């Protein structure tokens, strides 16, 4: 469950960065409208690529959120408390980190 939450967070962050890039391009266009006229083909290609990347990441994010919801629903049906499962997983990860630290010494 924690891995899926991390995946959702990462996808959300990537999508947010893409949307910021699109807003920056729009601001640049309004600040200097001639920039698009200087090289319209490149501008359109870049814009289309950014938009398709953003749409793909949105679809991946939606799929990851749906998968997370399914995992949470299965955990709920199995009677596993989400917080307890999350705490147990994080405690397990901390133990593994401690073991790695001992190996280095």
> What is the pLDDT, as a whole number, of residue 20?
93
Q: For residue range 8-27, list pLDDT tens digits in order.
A: 999 999 999 999 998 998 88
- Rounded distance between C-alpha atoms, residue 49 and residue 86, angstroms: 38
pLDDT tens for the chain, residues 1 to 105: 888 889 899 999 999 999 999 899 888 888 888 888 888 888 889 889 999 999 999 999 999 999 989 988 888 888 876 555 555 555 545 555 554 444 444
In the block, tokens 């401690």 appear at: 98
Which tokens hold the place of 3?
């891995």
Residue 39 backbone zone (phi > 0: left; psi -120 to 50: alpha; other: beta) = beta
**Helices 82-104 and 40-77 meet at what angle, rounded to 10?**
110
> What is the pLDDT, as a whole number, of residue 17?
92
């Amino acid at each position: 469950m924690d891995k899926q939450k991390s995946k959702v967070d990462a996808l959300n962050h990537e999508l947010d960065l893409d949307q910021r890039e699109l807003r920056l391009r729009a601001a640049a266009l309004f600040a200097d409208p001639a920039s698009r006229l200087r090289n319209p083909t490149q501008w359109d290609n870049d814009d289309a690529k950014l938009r398709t990347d953003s749409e793909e990441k949105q679809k991946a994010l939606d799929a990851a959120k749906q998968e997370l919801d399914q995992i949470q629903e299965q955990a709920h049906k199995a009677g596993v408390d989400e917080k307890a499962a999350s705490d147990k997983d994080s405690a397990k990860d901390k133990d593994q980190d401690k073991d790695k630290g001992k190996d280095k010494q």
